[in-house]
Amino acid sequence: MKKLLRISVLALALAFNFSSVKAETDDVLFKALQDEMQRNQQRLKLGAHSQPYFLQYKVLDSETCYITASCGAVAQSRTSRSRYLYSDVRIGDYSLDSSRKPGNLDSLFGSSSMGVSQSLPIEDDYFALRHQIWLASDRAYKKAIESYEDKKANLKAHPETDRLGDFTKEKPVVFLKPAVNLKIDKKKWEDTCRKLSEVFVQYPEIEYSVVTFTSQAGNAWLVNNEGFKHRDGKLQTILSVFARIRAKDGRPYCDAEFMASEADKDLPDYKNMEKSVKDLVARLKRTAEAPLAKAYSGPILLEPEASAPVLYMAIANMTAAAHEKTEGSSLFRSIQPSRHKINQRVSSRLLTVVDDPAATTYKGAPLLGNYEVDDDGMHAQKITLIEKGILKNFCTSRIPTPDTSGSNGHSLNGVGSVSVLFVSAEPSLQAKKLKRKLMELGKEQGYDEVYMIKRIVRIPSWLSSSDSESSTSFFSKLGGDLTLYPTEVYKVSVKTGKEELVRGGRLSVQMARVLRDITCAGDDERACSFVQDAMYVSSLVVPSIVLYDADLKEPTKSGEKPPVLESPLTLKPQKSKEE
């Protein structure tokens, strides 16, 4: 029986390998990329300039469904398809080549570190694809010549001691998965968005609301002359609900709900979505009626939904993009704050942080932002970043990093970046003891009241309007401070523990200090989602934390007069309960 089982498993493996090989040979895009790469590697040369030592093509193909609705009506509904080629052509060698390091003005204002971009046909026409690849390669090569000569001249004028190389040598990785397709019941999601947005019609006090549905099938192809070959596909779906209310003093307050999954079928059912919308309305109404927060500097408790964005940004600042950013004379050049701090204490000794790009679930909850190979085509690796407060590792790409050797599979657009984070504390405290510790710290510092933040939701600019105090400044490149706008803040009496909702406070922490200022943490680790943009959500598992010293800034003095006339929704007949 065991022998038969082994034969069956072997047969399945052979069948899978055969289907993978067949899918590869049938892939017109792969063939166009490889054939043009081979031709350029052999013949791409201009005058006395060197031929490329490194050639890489990466194609990102995405199909997106986008729907928005407001007040019971669909405002936008469209599907789109795009395919872009990113050509990375380098001359020189691994120690000194034509690449530009992230941190220069070019990358700061938005150009991709993945190389020269070129739109490709979405149809798999071999010669149409090769034509565009040829043009992109030519531009990338000429740009590489200019960059290489400029870099050599700059280094001659401004020599760097102990300079790291520009690129690491890595063992080639071949990773081939089938491409994914977008299969969306568009009418179903139009109806869902319409019905969810209609819930707000019952609440004329909500000044503005919008429901947004985005679902994307993204596929990536990567080939280079080192032998890397990569094809991967990923689905991601986000349903966002945004709303704004205005208090009697004219100050606007915003909040949002995000429901995310890979495939749309894995989103919550309509009943739970509707409940989330009604909970959002209830929170906003309570906030609008709450007293204003006062300026405060002292201990603050952050529950998981509030600690998630703080910890994510602080850990990313500490462990990501650890390459040297010294090249050139950019005004904004900086040194990674943890450079040369491996095996030194960088946080509270309570904390341990693990980054696991391949993690998919936590206690039954799905985790998003995971991957098997990174943007450089390297296998994802699980790494311990911080162990009991001691920095153990950086998230690295193929850009050399001080105190580390090579890539550990954490490249995002060519730069070392955090992925799925797991933050734990030892020892940890139960929720009641954590609150009691907060009150004790407040009493020690002479406060009658301390603060507890239950929710901080990053509201991206694509959801909110520009006149609302809703955007989050995730950190100043010049100052290094982190400023966030909590959506649920409570004032806590140090004598009785009574909690009172307040509004308008802005949390401000110092990026360099926040991890060290964690004085205790809870045993309530929870999977939280961190929405980075319209189509990218990452997950992290975090506990509640108490910061020994953080600033809650008072609300802005200025307010706005409400609209002269009442909302026309007050004139709309409301449905009876029988209906």
Cis, peptide link before residue 427, omega less than 30° from 0: yes
Average pLDDT of 483-493? Answer: 94
Q: What is the pLDDT of residue 101?
A: 63
Q: What is the pLDDT of residue 115?
A: 63
Residue 478 has pLDDT above 80, yes or no: no
List the domain boundaries for the chain: 19-232, 296-553
What average pLDDT does this structure show over 160-173?
A: 91
Q: What span, in angstroms and rounded, lies between the C-alpha atoms of 82 and 95?
A: 35
**Does residue 243 surpass a pLDDT of 60?**
yes
| Tens digit of each residue's pLDDT (9 = 90 or more) over 16-59 | 444 444 455 579 999 999 999 999 999 999 999 999 999 999 99
**Least confident piece of the model among 158-162, 215-219, 461-465, 516-520:** 461-465
Identify the burial level of 154 via C-beta atoms within 10 angstroms of its C-beta, where 0-12 means exposed, 13-18 middle and 19 or more buried: middle
- The amino acid present at 170, given as its one-letter code, is E
Residues 6+ apart with CB under 8 A from 152: 96
Rounded Cα–Cα distance for residues 266 and 300 (Å): 35
Q: How confident is the model at residue 474, as a pLDDT? A: 36
The C-alpha angle 452, 458, 461, rounded to 5 degrees, equals: 145
Q: Tell me what pLDDT residue 188 has.
A: 98
Is 98's pLDDT higher than 80?
yes
Distance CA 55, CA 393 (A): 29
With a cut of 80, say whether residue 91 has pLDDT above it. yes
Predicted confidence at residue 234, as pLDDT, reads 94
| Arithmetic mean of pLDDT over the chain | 87
CB atoms within 10 A of CB 148: 19
Average pLDDT estimate for 58-81: 97
Residue range 358-392, pLDDT digits in tens: 999 999 999 999 999 999 999 999 999 999 999 99
Q: What is the mean pLDDT of residues 268-287?
A: 97
The residue ranking higher by pLDDT, 527 or 11, is: 527
Percent helix, strand and coil across the chain, each rounded to 5?
Answer: 25, 35, 40
Residue scoring higher pLDDT (157 or 458):
157
Which phi and psi (to 5°) does residue 98 adopt? -85, 0
Lowest mean pLDDT among 139-148, 244-253, 394-403, 531-540: 531-540
The number of C-alpha atoms within 13 Å of 486 and in the hemisphere containing its C-beta is 36
Residue 327 confidence (pLDDT) above 50: no
- Residues forming beta bridges with residue 366, ordered by sequence position: 361
Between strands 518-521 and 545-553, the pairing is antiparallel
Residue-level pLDDT at 114? 53
Closest of 546, 477, 473, 481 to residue 510, by C-alpha = 481
Mean pLDDT computed over 338-348? 89
Q: What pLDDT band is residue 404 in, cutting at 50, 70 and 90? A: confident
Which residue is listed with tokens 């201009």? 46
Closest alpha carbon to 307 in 434, 465, 466: 434
Least confident of 21-35, 245-259, 294-308: 21-35
In this structure, which amino acid lies at residue 578? E
Q: Are 505 and 554 in contact (CB under 8 A)?
A: yes
Percent of the chain with pLDDT over 90: 73
Q: Give the pLDDT confidence score for residue 440 in this predicted structure.
A: 97
pLDDT band at 338 (very low <50, low <70, confident <90, very high): confident
Are 419 and 357 in contact by the 8 Å Cβ rule? The answer is yes
Q: What pLDDT score was predicted for residue 164?
A: 87
Residues 485/431, Cβ–Cβ less than 8 Å? no
pLDDT of residue 16: 40
Across the range 410-419, mean pLDDT stands at: 92
pLDDT (mean) for 448-462: 85
Q: Which numeric CATH code is attached to 19-232?
A: 3.30.2290
pLDDT band at 112 (very low <50, low <70, confident <90, very high): very low
The pLDDT of 137-157, averaged and rounded, is: 95
pLDDT above 80 for 494? yes
